[in-house]
Structure 1
Amino acid sequence: MNMNELVQTTFKTISSCIETLAQLSIQHLQYQKNDSVQSAEDCRRDFIARRPFYKLARDKNLSLPCYENGPFKLV
């Protein structure tokens, strides 16, 4: 899913939206142009920063249960 598809997607839960954003963040790092990574260490640091966010999103630890099914406000 790219960003154009994301804005046209309807999510039933806030955790599914956050998990999709976390996946996109990892995919962006994986498929970005080579000149946007300064070094192997830079890439490693970016990857390490994204993995815990994805794990928290996947385990549904980034949203409060009372807000899980909306209503949602984009801010």
Structure 2
Amino acid sequence: MNSNSQLPDDFQDTYISFFDDASSDEVYTHCKRELVQAIWKLLLDEKFMHAYKYGIVVRCGDGITRRVFPRFFTYSADYPEK
């Protein structure tokens, strides 16, 4: 799997083994979306959400202790409709 939300190379082979036919473009797009959503669910677990809301106290490189709030920033250029 590469970094731009692609399904595994053997996706069609696996799909065919279950359904005796290749997936349509719509099914493939749906599966990619489901993959992305599953990854977000893993990333946004309880521990991350706690840190998101309350921050994490860390000692920075300059020796000062600070409370930082982790955030994700996304770039959706792969999705022209957005």
TM-score, with normalisation over the residues of structure 2? 0.32
- Greater helix proportion: 1
Structure with higher Rg: it is 2
- Greater strand proportion: 2
Structure scoring higher RCO (CA < 8 A, sep ≥ 6) equals 1
